[in-house]
Structure 1
Amino acid sequence: MSSDSGGAAGEPIQYRDLLDYFSKPPASAGSGATVPGRIEGCSACVGIEYELLAVEPVTGVAVPFASEHRPGVEAAFLGLLSSPDYSPAEGPLPPTTLSRGRASINLEPGGQTEISGSPWRTLAEVDGELRAILGDLVLRARERGFVFLSHALQPVSASGEIELVPKRRYRIMAEHLEQHGGRRYRDMMTRTASVQASFDFTSEADAGRKMRLAMLAAPVVAALFANSPVEGGRESGLASVRTAIWRETDPARSGVVTCAFDGEWSWERYVEFALDVPAILVRATDGGVAPAGGRTFRQLLRDGVEGRPAEMADWELHLSTIFTEARAKRVLEVRSADAPPPGTGMALPALWTGLLYHPPSLEGALELLAPHRGELNALFDAAAREGLRGRTGGGVALAPLARELVALSSAGLAARGMGEERFLAPAAEWAAAGRSPAEELLERFRRGGVAALVEAAAVRMEE
């Protein structure tokens, strides 16, 4: 998620500006422009977002944001400022976003700690930065008596027991989603964690192919990374509760983007989709954020915002509250995976790098998955229920699709010639065995309860 800052006041925007947002400036050398999420001159960079859950050792109970009785998540987060590598991002104090070079560390609505990495040319660079930040966070947590889990769902505490991080953005989002977000919106905000990745596109057509694959592959990726089988301290009966929660969250802004499939892809069609999603946030006059009043962005563009014309800051805020399985901003973000076991987080950007940045693998994956376009909903349900063991009522099994995707990705990584296949190894093992991470975690839970789950999912310095 983003900061409370709504950005500085800007020029009024028109429909054409919404289209230009995606296509200008491109990630081209010599553009002279700084594009968030991109490196000038790099058209095939990779970024990672990795969310961690702060819990009490042994019990797995959520660590509060702040507490009179013991240091909370905020204390560990602000403890990063003892290192010269970190600085507060612009916005209200105390900060909920810190900067480390081009990377940022953010506190999510339920106190989840999100590492939003810099864009890098190689997976080794992504991994190096991720390990450095993880090490800093784990040290701060250990000093304060708690641990960070690489796990997709708070395993014990209910959403009503987790306070929202005191941030205007999150309060406004909660108020909107209470009315429109479905019965599990609060679980989505406070109890879930994922690993995501972002990728460049070089043209409108390139973005369309990548978006199409991101949507078609989403349930397969959800099954491959399924890692949230325990809820409320008990077996949930699902491989990925997180996927099930997202399936129930505000259908106007979640799920798949149908314009990736139906007819010819264009930025105009994507903009038309985004215009009709009810807005949650707009830029406030004080530079922060304010409620959008449930109006669609089409209405804001036509009628204005709080007595002024709509601006690019409003559009960027709006795009950040579209929660589809993949979404386009200046980069393409893929969002379907549970946060996986410790030490395996790089498998997600590796999988997608091999698929999206190697045209033969991209086309092969599209050919593999296109016949199952009509069964996406059934595939998502099967992924949430059984992970890689899932199959639809029509007999489509997830495990063979996952094995094929991993093989295509491995070929794509090999073609890059950087030895990056090693990052894909955990996903290759899950796919070959037909077992999602949830299965091993559930076995440990059955033997040793929540304490065993915490032991298995806790991030350690060597990760």
Structure 2
Amino acid sequence: MSAPPTTNADARPVESRDELVAFLESGSKPKSDWRIGTEHEKFGYRIGDFSPMPYDNTPGETGATVKAMLEGMQRFGWEPAYEGDNVIALLGNEKTRGGSITLEPGGQFELSGAPLETLHQTCDEVHTHLAQVAEIAGEIDAGFIGLGFAPRRTLEDTPVMPKGRYKIMRAYMSKVGTRGLDMMFRTATVQVNLDFGSEADMIEKYRIALALQPLATAIFANSPFKEGKPNGLLSNRAHVWLDTDRDRTGMLPFAFEDGFGFEQYTDYALDVPMYFVYRGGDYVDVSGQSFRDFMEGRLKGLEGERPTLDDWESHLTTIFPEARLKRFIEMRGADGGPWRRLCALPAFWVGLLYDDAAQKAAWDLIKDWTAEEREALHQAVPAQALNTPFRDGTLLDIARDALAIAQDGLKARARTDSIGADERGFLAAIEATLAEGRTPAEELLENYNGKWAGNLDRLFEDYSY
């Protein structure tokens, strides 16, 4: 999640809904300005017992901490951001080439990457970040692993990060679903943020993104364990999202209706219940109230006050559909994973959506899918992944078609590195998955039931960064 927003006491209140619509529309860019932003989360743990790292040690306690990681990373040029006396994020600059490092509620360590032009740059960024993380972690006896769901920790033994927004969210989650706390404290993902050229381009991209998110979930399924044993699922992370908060999650069938665009998404977001408003360095709990209430000066606790565009931008980050619209589109459907899969996810989506012919082919692939079919995939893939039945075959058949489109799209982009290789090489992890017809989660289960003999210590030993 994002670092604390900036505050400006003189910021002009939003006067009308049209300004909120225009904010989204301002994301439209010429193709020459389209960029790739990759975000990925990972679980930190203490070497020895694989326990989660707390934010800081209590008096007399020793061991690796999240705070020590944040302090150590500053040697690479990252600048600390504070909430009270606590460092809770690191902000990028010219030295780091942008980006930020933030904390999820349970201490998941997230890189929000800079907007970059090519996948070569994106994968260099991933490699550099993980090398920096490994250097600091090695000094404090910590490790990091990429999975979609924490394989051992319980909610009770998961530390809580000292961020005000998480206290508000934690209290609200139990009112709106059964798995919200799992989402906050025990899941991790990899996402990619992509641009659009116009409202019409956004509409087509957004529909493709929503329809194919279950496919991304299936390809990248990587969370088959919970509290030390198999959980009966291949993506427990995706399963958790099915009952987190239905007011702000899901497949958004209205996005496929005639007339969808920036206005319709704005109207949807206006009615999604809020969590908080950031004022004077503090998070004000307004949970359950709508941004529409805020526009009318009717928020309890902030009576008479009206929002700024900063408030709108912050609110948009608290809406969690499978694909999220801001001034770009976020692809949210994949489990966290190892280095090569962190590079493969943006390659998949860039290949589908950043070449005109590939985007048309992706649209042709999904344009006749019904709302019922899209929702059925969304519900089934956490357990069945690529084996999910679809029409006359399975999702594996669709995955192979989509991969071919992405390969063609990356070939057409023709963005090469210093030795002349284009971006298709970053799809290699997906190619291997689809050639075998076996998800990462199934590979983990095979190891668990085979050479690991049920010992999850081996998971950390074999798959950590």
With normalisation by structure 2, the TM-score equals 0.91
Q: Following superposition of structure 1 onto structure 2, how do residues 23-422 of structure 1 map, counting pairs within 5 Å?
A: 23-24=25-26, 26-27=28-29, 42-57=32-47, 59-67=49-57, 68-83=61-76, 85-89=77-81, 92-101=84-93, 102-180=98-176, 182-284=177-279, 286-305=280-299, 306=302, 307-373=304-370, 374-391=372-389, 396-418=393-415, 419-422=422-425
With normalisation by structure 1, the TM-score equals 0.92
Distance 1:200 1:25, change over 3 A: closer
Report the Cα offset of residue 93 of structure 1.
3.4
Report the Cα offset of residue 344 of structure 1.
2.2
| In 1, Cα distance between equivalents of 2:223 and 2:109 | 17
* Residue of structure 1 in register with 2:419 after alignment: none
2:344 touches 2:430 (CA, 8 Å); kept in 1?
Answer: yes
Report the Cα offset of residue 91 of structure 1.
5.0
| In 1, Cα distance between equivalents of 2:139 and 2:287 | 43
2:54 touches 2:160 (CA, 8 Å); kept in 1?
Answer: no
* Residue of structure 2 in register with 1:436 after alignment: 439
1:3 touches 1:97 (CA, 8 Å); kept in 2?
Answer: yes
Report the Cα offset of residue 69 of structure 1.
2.5
| In 2, Cα distance between equivalents of 1:295 and 1:445 | 46
Name segments (4+ residues, structure 1) moved above 4 Å: none
| In 2, Cα distance between equivalents of 1:395 and 1:109 | 42
Q: RMSD between aligned alpha carbons?
A: 1.8
2:28 touches 2:195 (CA, 8 Å); kept in 1?
Answer: no
Larger mean Cα displacement after TM superposition, 441-450 or 194-203: 441-450
| In 2, Cα distance between equivalents of 1:183 and 1:293 | 17
Q: In the TM superposition, what whole-angstrom CA distance separates every residue of 1:79-122 from its partner, at most 9, and x where no partner exists?
A: 11233x21113654322110222210111110000000000111
Structure 1 counterpart of 2:63, one-letter code: R
Report the Cα offset of residue 43 of structure 1.
2.7
| In 1, Cα distance between equivalents of 2:48 and 2:434 | 30
Unaligned residue ranges in structure 1 (runs of 5+): 29-40
Larger mean Cα displacement after TM superposition, 363-372 or 190-199: 363-372
Structure 2 counterpart of 1:321, one-letter code: T
| In 2, Cα distance between equivalents of 1:167 and 1:275 | 25
* Residue of structure 2 in register with 1:20 after alignment: 22
User: Which one of the candidate residues 402, 423, 426 is aligned to 1:423?
Assistant: 426
| In 2, Cα distance between equivalents of 1:60 and 1:275 | 42
Distance 1:439 1:399, change over 3 A: same
| In 2, Cα distance between equivalents of 1:118 and 1:42 | 17
2:340 touches 2:426 (CA, 8 Å); kept in 1?
Answer: no
Report the Cα offset of residue 145 of structure 1.
1.1
| In 1, Cα distance between equivalents of 2:13 and 2:412 | 45
Report the Cα offset of residue 425 of structure 1.
0.9
Q: In the TM superposition, what whole-angstrom CA distance separates every residue of 1:414-436 from its partner, at most 9, and x where no partner exists?
A: 00112000011101211222111
2:90 touches 2:102 (CA, 8 Å); kept in 1?
Answer: yes
- 3-state SS of the aligned residue for 1:89? strand
- 3-state SS of the aligned residue for 2:333? strand
Report the Cα offset of residue 361 of structure 1.
1.4
Could you tell me the percent identity over the aligned residues? 34
| In 1, Cα distance between equivalents of 2:283 and 2:121 | 34
